[in-house]
């Protein structure tokens, strides 16, 4: 990896920062955040502006360019990568280290008095604008919205915004029609006495209309906004996608519908002016509901007194609770996914052990190949983390030719991968050894497994927030002075984003919504030894009602059911460190893998993988 040479680009950017063509007054600093106008986690190439200006293409980072300086804030996952990808024009600001200044403090320390700091109001979320603006104002500076994105003005070969065909999902996948979703949304709006709801997150638009797209890699979404009134539905979307007869039929665009279900299709770019018109037409006490993560531009379109902002939208919350059709789809997707992984691991054992020719990239490609043979496969759900030995300790590793390592009988192999199927989204991590693991490696693996089981088998009252379960995953590691520096689980979409709110299992969040039956999260504790190995055991699990002796005075009991059914390598387990209960959990889990995945492997005629599955699910025996 050689750094991107940015001298000329920065010179151009500094010119447009002063050009009356783009800014009313010169800006002394310009902020380039990571995101797109929808605050997406995964973004399209045309939105990779921060990577364009700096060379650093990690998933998280904010660039700030002043007349004298160019600085990049990113977190511990990317210190190395950012340092490799950026040239000397850039200063790396290592977030999380004690001496690293916050962006606003740094700005205050380098800016001349009374400076203007520019940012694209479509990219910055309203809550971040508020914080940054307040900090700058109290130091005598101003945060100003710059309408035209200044990176776009100098990015001559910027790729087009994608505009791919849509996929319509029928009731057998979604369980609820888009009409019924609109009805439910309007009833939530009536409860809160709001007249309008603005859908800004891409997965929320997709979910609401039972449509999927492929404008962004890994996330089956498409660029669109929607504005839902009590009697109107406006969908802001570009291209000829609305000409597709299947889409027209699905959205009933040509039917004579009750007016309140008639969808008005409008250009993607007209959202701001339409929203401003909505804002201008409001009477006192009429409110517009937006996520507090919506862009500053859209939030400002509604006068402050009329805004109703919440951290989680009613769509985000409804989307998280999967109905029976979605749950069944997720089950099917996970069965297919497990078949592919059984094939992969069987293949790896045959290739790695005697030949030693399989690299991380080859393994990742093979995993994709096996998955793509399964019915309704669409694409991967994220970039496969295929890592062996020391690469496994890099939590968000993705193999590239420069780092690509060959799997061997001497190193631990960690594979964190998943796929989008038309019936569901998967995300699974397994950690294996193709030779003989050391006692220490087995010890660490077993603590991680104990943590995984502690969460998976946890019983808790209805209404418990996921963050209250996070320590269960760490307790066995903590007892020996080990820990891992990431959360334990995230929400998983149903043929949607592999990371979704509003629930999760992490020490870092407090504002998560309570867990309820039907929610789907990951359970993925780990342990990482820098320079040596990484261990993670991840299942996607479904929140289900539990049976308890006293049932929390009828408040109701919850627990988890694993949807992922892939063997956990018993060779890595030190059985003597497990309690009998934990040992039974593993044996019950493997029994279920045998029954469910075994039957599917049989049905698909994949006999070699079936034999591998049977071998790998032999019951553990604990010596008392």
Quick one: tokens of 370? 């096996």
**Alpha-helical regions (H) of 59-102:** 79-85
Q: What residues have CB less than 8 Å from 437, skipping those under 6 apart?
A: 412, 445, 571, 572
With CB under 8 A as the contact rule, the residue among 104, 360, 423, 470 that binds its own copies is 470
Closest CA to 203 of 517, 498, 423: 498
Nearer to its own copies, 105 or 602 (CB): 105
With CB under 8 A as the contact rule, the residue among 99, 550, 603, 621 that binds its own copies is 550
Nearer to its own copies, 15 or 138 (CB): 138
Structure letter (DSSP) for residue 176: S
DSSP 135-159: HHHHTT-EEEE-SS-HHHHH-TTPP
Is there binding between residue 468 and its own copies (CB under 8 A)? Answer: yes
Dihedral sign for Cα 91, 96, 97, 99, please.
Answer: positive
Give the shortest CB-304-to-its own copies separation in angstroms: 9
Task: Name the 3-class secondary structure at 78.
Answer: helix
With CB under 8 A as the contact rule, the residue among 232, 276, 406, 548 that binds its own copies is 548
Stretch that binds its own copies, among 179-187, 313-321, 377-385, 481-489 (CB under 8 A): 481-489
Is there binding between residue 472 and its own copies (CB under 8 A)? Answer: yes
Rounded-to-integer distance, Cα 596 and Cα 337, Å: 12
- Radius of gyration of the CA atoms of the chain, in A: 25
Distances 501 to 33, 98, 162, 472 between C-alpha atoms, Å: 21, 29, 25, 21
Rounded-to-integer distance, Cα 542 and Cα 338, Å: 16
Give the shortest CB-465-to-its own copies separation in angstroms: 8
Is there binding between residue 569 and its own copies (CB under 8 A)? Answer: no
Q: Binding pattern to its own copies, positions 120-139, x when CB under 8 A?
A: ------------------x-
Stretch that binds its own copies, among 150-158, 343-351, 431-439, 455-463 (CB under 8 A): 455-463
With CB under 8 A as the contact rule, the residue among 60, 253, 353, 482 that binds its own copies is 482
Token pair 């402050």 in the structure block, residue: 304
With CB under 8 A as the contact rule, the residue among 170, 180, 249, 483 that binds its own copies is 483
Stretch that binds its own copies, among 207-215, 360-368, 415-423, 475-483 (CB under 8 A): 475-483
Helix/strand/coil percent split, the chain, to 5: 40, 20, 40
With CB under 8 A as the contact rule, the residue among 166, 458, 521, 572 that binds its own copies is 458
Nearer to its own copies, 553 or 603 (CB): 553
Instruction: Return the number of other C-beta atoms located less than 10 Å from residue 555's C-beta.
Output: 11
Is there binding between residue 578 and its own copies (CB under 8 A)? Answer: no
Give the shortest CB-459-to-its own copies separation in angstroms: 5
With CB under 8 A as the contact rule, the residue among 259, 281, 481, 605 that binds its own copies is 481
Q: Using alpha carbons only, what angle is made at residue 310 by residues 309 and 316, rounded to the nearest 5 degrees?
A: 125
Q: How many residues sit close enough to its own copies to count as binding (CB under 8 A)?
A: 29
Nearer to its own copies, 3 or 101 (CB): 101
Q: Using alpha carbons only, what angle is made at residue 210 by residues 204 and 216, rounded to the nearest 5 degrees?
A: 60
Nearer to its own copies, 13 or 519 (CB): 519
Nearer to its own copies, 356 or 463 (CB): 463
Rounded-to-integer distance, Cα 257 and Cα 254, Å: 9
Q: Binding pattern to its own copies, positions 505-524, x when CB under 8 A?
A: --x--x--------------
Q: What are phi and psi of 86, to 5 degrees?
A: -105, 145
The H or E element that residue 93 is part of is: strand 91-94
Q: Are strands 424-425 and 419-421 parallel, antiparallel or unpaired?
A: antiparallel
Is there binding between residue 461 and its own copies (CB under 8 A)? Answer: yes
Q: Restricting to residues 253-282, name those near its own copies by CB under 8 A.
A: none
Give the shortest CB-552-to-its own copies separation in angstroms: 5
Is there binding between residue 305 and its own copies (CB under 8 A)? Answer: yes
Contacting residues toward its own copies, per CB under 8 A: 138, 305, 458-461, 465, 468-472, 474-475, 478-483, 507, 510, 548-552, 555, 557
């Amino acid at each position: 990896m050689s750094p991107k040479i940015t001298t000329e680009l920065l010179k151009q950017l500094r010119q447009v920062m002063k050009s009356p063509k783009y800014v009313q007054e010169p800006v002394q600093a310009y902020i380039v955040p990571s995101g797109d106008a929808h605050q997406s986690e995964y973004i399209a190439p045309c939105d990779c502006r921060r990577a364009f200006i700096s060379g650093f293409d990690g998933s998280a980072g904010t660039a700030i360019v002043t007349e004298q300086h160019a600085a990049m804030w990113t977190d511990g996952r990317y210190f190395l990568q950012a340092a490799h990808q950026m040239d000397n024009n850039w200063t790396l600001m290592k977030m999380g280290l004690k001496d690293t200044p916050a962006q606003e403090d740094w700005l205050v320390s380098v800016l001349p008095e009374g400076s203007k700091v520019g940012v694209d109001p479509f990219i910055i979320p309203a809550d971040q604008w508020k914080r940054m603006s307040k900090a700058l104002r109290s130091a005598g500076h101003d945060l100003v919205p710059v309408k035209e994105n200044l990176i776009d003005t100098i990015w001559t070969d910027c790729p087009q915004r994608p505009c791919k065909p849509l996929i319509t999902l029928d009731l057998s996948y979604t369980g609820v029609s888009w009409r019924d979703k609109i009805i439910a949304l309007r009833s939530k709006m009536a409860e809160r006495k709001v007249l309008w709801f603005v859908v800004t997150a891409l997965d929320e638009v997709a979910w609401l209309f039972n449509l999927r797209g492929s404008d962004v890699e890994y996330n089956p979404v498409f660029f669109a906004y929607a504005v839902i009134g009590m009697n109107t539905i406006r969908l802001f979307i570009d291209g000829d996608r609305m000409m597709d007869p299947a889409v027209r039929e699905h959205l009933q665009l040509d039917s004579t519908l009750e007016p309140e279900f008639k969808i008005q299709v409008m250009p993607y770019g007209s959202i701001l002016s339409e929203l401003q018109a909505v804002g201008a037409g409001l009477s006192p006490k009429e409110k517009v509901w937006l996520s507090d993560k919506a862009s500053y531009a859209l939030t400002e379109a509604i006068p402050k007194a009329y805004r109703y902002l919440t951290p989680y939208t009613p769509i985000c919350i409804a989307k998280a609770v999967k109905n029976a059709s979605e749950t069944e789809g997720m089950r099917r997707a996970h069965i297919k996914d497990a078949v592919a992984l059984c094939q992969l691991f069987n293949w790896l054992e045959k290739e790695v052990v005697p030949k030693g020719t399989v690299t991380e990239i080859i393994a990742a490609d093979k995993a994709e190949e096996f998955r793509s043979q399964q019915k309704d496969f669409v694409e991967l759900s994220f970039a496969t983390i295929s890592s062996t030995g020391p690469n496994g300790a890099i939590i968000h590793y993705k193999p590239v030719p420069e780092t690509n390592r060959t799997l061997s009988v001497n190193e631990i192999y960690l594979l964190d991968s998943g796929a989008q199927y038309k019936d569901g989204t998967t995300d699974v991590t397994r950690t294996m050894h193709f030779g003989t693991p050391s006692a220490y490696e087995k010890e660490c693996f077993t603590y991680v497994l104990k943590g995984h089981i502690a969460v998976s088998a946890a019983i808790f009252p209805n209404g418990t927030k996921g963050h209250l379960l996070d320590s269960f995953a760490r307790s066995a590691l903590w007892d020996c002075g080990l820990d891992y520096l990431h959360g334990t689980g995230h929400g998983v979409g149903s043929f949607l984003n592999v990371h979704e709110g509003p629930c999760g299992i992490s020490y870092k969040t407090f504002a998560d919504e309570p867990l309820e039956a039907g929610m789907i999260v990951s359970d993925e504790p780990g342990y990482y030894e820098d320079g040596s190995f990484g261990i993670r055991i991840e299942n996607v699990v479904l929140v289900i009602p539990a049976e308890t002796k006293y049932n929390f005075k009828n408040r109701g009991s919850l627990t988890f059911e694993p949807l992922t059914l892939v063997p956990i390598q018993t060779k890595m387990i030190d059985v003597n460190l497990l309690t009998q209960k934990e040992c039974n959990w593993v044996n019950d889990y493997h029994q279920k893998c045998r029954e469910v995945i075994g039957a599917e492997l049989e049905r698909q005629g994949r006999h070699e993988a079936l034999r591998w599955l049977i071998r790998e699910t032999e019951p553990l025996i604990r010596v008392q």
